[in-house]
């Protein structure tokens, strides 16, 4: 099914540039935003084609609604990261900062989030340095990132991070895993197909019936 947007790409570029100017009035980024917008929308289309959440789709196919804040947060990450890769650092910086200001999401433009992921009301979420994989589902007030010694988490495919989850340092999450609400992981492994709960070092795992690819993305192979 065709991918659509609530604003035409030319209108969307101007809209985002005006948002940037409202918060950071040090120049007009319309042309620079337009330069990277196609890359960001291509990545968004690929993501939305897999994220079968009802709010991401209409009867005609996947649709980006610029006024839907979860969708906008994903879009602004892709815009910032695409701008970084094309050397448009002002756009990368401002799109990253807009995400923090508008959605409370800290996802730095150098961080490589996966091609297929979704955010569920991600206020207070920080997605820092880590190895991420497809079919990632992240909720509010989640923190992922490196430890002071530089060790970074490795997330397998099809991971759900529920509200308040902390995944810091040398943590290895297997495929089809879940980190339950309020759980803190500061090291160790979560086996594939398991859910983790508790506070480091007293973390327990057990088999889980939840599966992100099936329950969030409807994309089981």
Q: pTM for this one?
A: 0.96
Closest CA to 177 of 209, 203, 201: 209
* Proportion of the chain in helix, strand, coil states, percent, rounded to 5: 35, 25, 40
d(CA 207, CA 177): 9
Residue-level pLDDT at 51: 85
Under a CB-based contact definition with an 8 Å cutoff, are residues 119 and 95 in contact? no
Backbone angles phi, psi at 148, to 5 degrees: -55, -30
Please determine, for residue 197, whether its predicted confidence score (pLDDT) is greater than 90: yes
The CATH T-level fold of domain 117-215 is UDP N-Acetylglucosamine Acyltransferase; domain 1 (2.160.10)
Alpha carbon 147 to chain centroid distance?
20
Task: For the chain, give every domain's residue range.
Answer: 4-105, 117-215
Q: What are phi and psi of 67, to 5 degrees?
A: -95, 0
The pLDDT of residue 52: 78
Q: What is the pLDDT of residues 130-182, one digit of tens each?
A: 999 999 999 999 999 999 999 999 999 999 999 999 999 999 999 999 999 99
Round the average pLDDT of the chain to a whole number and report it.
95
């Amino acid at each position: 099914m065709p991918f659509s947007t609530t604003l035409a790409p030319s209108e969307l570029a101007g809209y985002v540039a005006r948002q940037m100017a409202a918060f950071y009035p040090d120049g007009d980024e319309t042309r620079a935003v337009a330069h990277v917008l196609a890359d960001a929308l291509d990545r968004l289309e690929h993501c939305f084609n897999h994220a079968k959440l009802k709010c991401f789709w209409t009867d005609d196919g996947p649709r980006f609604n610029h006024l839907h804040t979860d969708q906008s947060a994903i879009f602004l990450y892709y815009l910032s990261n695409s701008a970084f890769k094309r050397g448009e650092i002002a756009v990368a910086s401002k799109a990253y900062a807009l995400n923090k200001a508008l959605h409370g999401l800290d996802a730095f433009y150098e961080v490589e989030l996966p091609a297929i992921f979704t955010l569920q009301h991600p206020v207070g979420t920080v997605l820092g340095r880590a190895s991420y994989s497809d079919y990632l589902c992240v909720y509010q007030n989640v923190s992922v990132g490196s430890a002071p010694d530089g060790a970074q988490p490795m997330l397998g495919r099809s991971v759900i991070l529920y509200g308040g989850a902390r995944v810091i340092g040398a943590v290895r999450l297997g495929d089809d895993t879940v980190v339950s609400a309020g759980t803190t992981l500061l090291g160790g492994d979560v086996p594939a197909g398991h859910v983790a709960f508790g506070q480091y070092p007293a973390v327990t795992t057990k088999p889980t019936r939840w599966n992100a690819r099936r329950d969030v993305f409807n994309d089981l192979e």
